[in-house]
Amino acid sequence: MKKLIALSLFVLVATLSFAQKKTDYDKKLKELGIELYTPSKPIANYVKAVRVGNLLYLSGHGPAQADGTNITGKLGADMTVEQGYAAAKQTGISILSTLKAELGDLNKVKRVVKVLGMVNCTDTFTDHPKVINGFSDLMVAVFGDKGKHARSAVGMNQLPGNMATEIEIIVEIE
Amino acid sequence: MKKIIALFLFASVATITCAQKIDYDKKLKDLGITLITPAKPVANYVKVVRTGKLLYLSGDGPTLPDGSYITGKVGADLTVEQGYAAAKQTGVSILSTLKAELGDLNKVKRIVKVLGMVNCTSTFTDQPKVINGFSDLMVAVFGEKGKHARSAVGMSSLPSNIAVEIEIIVEVE
């Protein structure tokens, strides 16, 4: 009798754990109006993601669009904060595309741990956090509490190809 | 008899191990450091994320007790000495976050990695001397545990024109 109760409890807990954890990310992204794309391949001696234990280190990503081009420009000179926010959000889409390609299933993301958000800007620009919010807001919208991360938002005097933002992240995975 | 010896050894080891606990309140007081109340994030991020035994901290600035920052660009409106002081104040802010997060600074096993970013002109080259303000504080407070890997770099600008922004990775018990 005791064994039967123990087994029933185990099955119940296992079912609850399994049922609660899986999120339909395809549906969630669709509701958010987000379309992932096939990430471009690196053209030099680096890779998009490296796994160490249960941490995934991603290379810096830019605001890459589906056609492969980046949103370019310099905050404080030829881009507004709103345009910067949109670029940071697009960088988030690029990163989600890499995560999906790398992991197969976004449910494998246990936590977005650390973000370095780099803004291409003039040396008098001071609203870097408002720009990088475009990325942070997307992570929380997609992953909920798992998307809440530690972050640094900083200014760079130049970024590759004059892209507006470059963001690198560390993700904890199952 | 064997049990008594075993118990004695255990008690000795336990006492010695307990003796490793440091009175950080006293140490900080001796160093003239007063921790501050960390500000709450105002956007969709958190101050600290723990993964396994590592704590990843968000970038922090030279926050003063009243919540304002030390601002300015080293090489333009701040000297290296003023930059050092800003980096040290950033260390005070980070210690305050660690204390709030961990409850007890004895839980810090090692300051692993530091990225020290200096708000500076494009001709400024003494970033290490500025970030030393932070590194020196970590070693003064934590001793050997405070010795970290580090990158000291120049940034063309930082949020709200703060003089220094520093992010760290900490190993905890």
Query: Given B44, B59, B159, which is nearest A137 (Cβ)?
Result: B44
Asked if residue A60 belongs to a domain, the reply is yes
* B73 interfaces chain A, CB cutoff of 8 Å: yes
pLDDT at B16 over 70: no
Asked if residue A4 belongs to a domain, the reply is no
CATH number of residue A64's parent domain: 3.30.1330.40
Residue-wise pLDDT for A105-134, tens only, equals 999 999 999 999 999 999 999 999 999 999
Per the structure, the complete domain to which residue A167 belongs is given by 23-173
Asked if residue A8 belongs to a domain, the reply is no
pLDDT of residue B10: 80
Residue-wise pLDDT for A45-65, tens only, equals 999 999 999 999 999 999 999
Domains and their CATH numbers in chain B: 22-172 (3.30.1330.40)
Measured between CA atoms, how close is B17 to chain A, in angstroms? 30
DSSP per-residue letters across chain B: -HHHHHHHHHHHHHHHHHHT---HHHHHHHTT----PPPPPSSS-BSEEEETTEEEEPPB--B-TTS-B-B--BTTTB-HHHHHHHHHHHHHHHHHHHHHHHSSGGGEEEEEEEEEEEEB-TT---HHHHHHHHHHHHHHHHGGGG--EEEEEEESB-GGGBSEEEEEEEEE-
Asked if residue A95 belongs to a domain, the reply is yes
Number of domain units in chain A: 1
Partner-chain contact B159 A154, CB within 8 Å: yes
ipTM score:
0.84
Asked if residue A139 belongs to a domain, the reply is yes
